[in-house]
Amino acid sequence: MSRQASGFKAWVIQRVTAVYIALFVIYAMVHFAVSAPADVVAWRAWIASPVVSMALLLFFAALLMHAWIGIRDVLIDYVHPLSLRVVVLSAFATALIGTGLWVAQVIFLVRVAG
């Protein structure tokens, strides 16, 4: 993709992830309104089901990508010193990667224990 189209690629990713996040949140709200897990065992069983665990992984991947693009765009627009921008972007990238790994570990451990 050309340099001129990279903004379009970020725009498309931002919109697609926003749609998935909204759909998953609506699904979760309806699911919990209709049949909320009664205890931790039921909660783990729900998360351990293959469809839900994959949907959760995809949800958090979409959430982290959405957050990264938003934070990156704001910092590029408003943090002008390049060295400060690199430090702040690196800090956010490290935090987002750490969060993603932590979420994957939690879902994996629930699937293994369930």
- Statement: residue 1 has pLDDT above 50: no
Rounded-to-integer distance, Cα 24 and Cα 71, Å: 22
Rounded-to-integer distance, Cα 36 and Cα 31, Å: 7
- 12, 95, 20: which is closest to 62 by C-alpha? 20
| Tens of pLDDT, residues 95-114 | 999 999 999 999 999 888 86
Rounded-to-integer distance, Cα 26 and Cα 40, Å: 22
Rounded to 5°, the CA angle 100-103-105 comes to 110
| Tens of pLDDT, residues 50-98 | 999 999 999 999 999 999 999 999 999 999 999 999 999 999 999 999 9
- Contact by Cβ (8 Å): 62, 113: no
| Tens of pLDDT, residues 31-43 | 999 998 899 899 9
Q: Looking up tokens 């490290």, which residue turns up?
A: 94
Q: Determine the straight-line distance between the first and last CA of the chain, rounded to whole angstroms.
A: 43
Position with higher pLDDT, 87 vs 1? 87
Structural domains of the chain sorted by starting position, each given as residue range(s) with its CATH number in brackets:
3-113 (1.20.1300.10)
pTM over 0.85: yes
